């Protein structure tokens, strides 16, 4: 067997048909050997383990030692969905604030959501996100109480705030009044909470990574009959409250990036909803008609 082996990547030249897709998709790692007329590994240190070269190779000639080669299944065309089906799924997802308290979420269902997050894109394929899953009612209630404590501090020290800040304070005051009456407008008595965090890295798109991963989970949750809702107030509170970080076992060198609650909805929506048309500025070739 003729094998080109450098570091983590191997090219089986007995299988390679010299189409050059690996070189075309990743010229940082691969180069074309003009003498042997075949691809070769030029700089494996540039490899970020994205798997593109393996997924593209028509003859399965590439092996990667850092990746699970059994986890590259063939794409099944029978599982493709139409654009109409995808559009309905996207439009059908609602932020759920009323949950079915009698229906528990199984661990296998949550693991299916996490599997969806596993395959979300991350900057430079860093895959550095960590997901804290909270299903313990007592822990969720304590996290909620810590959040309320921090929000109450913000309101108490608001002073002469104006404009948009005053509007946000109005939202906080409503939340506090509800809490004092025993109504949970923070977690909405949801049975579960997912908090995503990651090691702090300068100039790294961690927030975007977490947003994409959480939305992957939310879309998967939709297919599993679950409802979800982003909880933006948790980041604000957790940045000032060490007890929240302790309850979630979040290291000090990690940033809390995204959080949402989940559970089976206590209501059923029957219609898709309207939204404003997208604001678009077209930059088109001269042979096409541009429009604002």
- Please tell me whether residues 256 and 160 are part of one structural domain: yes
- Please tell me whether residues 23 and 109 are part of one structural domain: no
- Please tell me whether residues 141 and 103 are part of one structural domain: yes
| Token digits of residue 281 | 């500025």
Burial of 107 (0-12, 13-18, 19+ CB in 10 A): exposed
| Final residue of a structural domain among 71, 106, 129 | 71
Say whether pTM exceeds 0.85.
Answer: yes
Query: HSE (CB half, 13 Å, CA atoms) of 275?
Result: 8
Spatial separation of the C-alpha atoms in residues 34 and 36, rounded to whole Å? 6
**Tens-digit pLDDT profile for the chain (292 aa)?**
344 444 799 999 999 999 999 999 999 999 999 999 999 999 999 999 999 999 999 999 999 999 999 999 999 999 999 999 999 999 999 999 999 999 999 999 999 999 999 999 999 999 999 999 999 999 999 999 999 999 999 899 886 555 557 778 888 999 999 999 999 999 999 999 999 999 998 778 899 999 999 999 999 999 999 999 999 999 888 878 999 999 999 999 999 999 999 999 999 999 999 999 999 999 988 877 655 5
Structural domain contains residue 105: yes
Backbone angles phi, psi at 197, to 5 degrees: -140, 170
Could you tell me the residue range of the domain that residue 25 belongs to? 3-71
Spatial separation of the C-alpha atoms in residues 119 and 75, rounded to whole Å? 14
């Amino acid at each position: 067997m003729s094998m080109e082996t450098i570091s983590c990547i191997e090219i089986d030249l007995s299988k390679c048909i010299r189409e050059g897709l690996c070189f075309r998709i990743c010229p940082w790692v691969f180069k074309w050997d003009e003498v042997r007329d075949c691809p070769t590994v030029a700089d494996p240190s540039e490899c970020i383990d994205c798997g593109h070269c393996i997924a593209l190779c028509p003859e399965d000639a590439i092996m990667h030692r850092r990746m699970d080669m059994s986890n590259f299944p063939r794409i099944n065309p029978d599982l493709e969905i139409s654009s109409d089906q995808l559009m309905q799924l996207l439009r059908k997802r609602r932020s759920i604030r009323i949950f079915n308290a009698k229906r528990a979420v199984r661990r296998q269902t949550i693991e299916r959501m996490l599997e969806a997050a596993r395959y979300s894109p991350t900057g430079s394929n860093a895959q550095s996100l960590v997901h804290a899953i909270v299903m313990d009612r007592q822990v969720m209630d304590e996290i909620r109480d810590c959040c309320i404590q921090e929000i109450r501090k913000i309101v108490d020290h608001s002073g002469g705030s104006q404009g948009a800040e005053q509007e946000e304070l109005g939202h906080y005051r409503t939340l506090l009044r509800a809490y004092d009456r025993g109504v949970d407008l923070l977690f909405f008595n949801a049975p579960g909470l997912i908090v995503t965090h990651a090691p702090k890295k300068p100039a790294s798109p961690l927030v975007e990574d977490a947003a994409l991963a959480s939305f992957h989970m939310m879309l998967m949750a939709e297919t599993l009959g679950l409802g979800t809702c982003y909880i933006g107030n948790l980041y604000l509170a957790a940045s000032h409250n060490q007890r929240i970080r302790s309850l979630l076992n979040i290291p000090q060198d990690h940033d809390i990036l995204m959080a949402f609650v989940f559970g089976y909805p206590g209501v059923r929506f029957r219609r898709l909803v309207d939204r404003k048309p997208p604001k678009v500025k077209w930059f088109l070739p001269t042979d096409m008609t541009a429009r604002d």
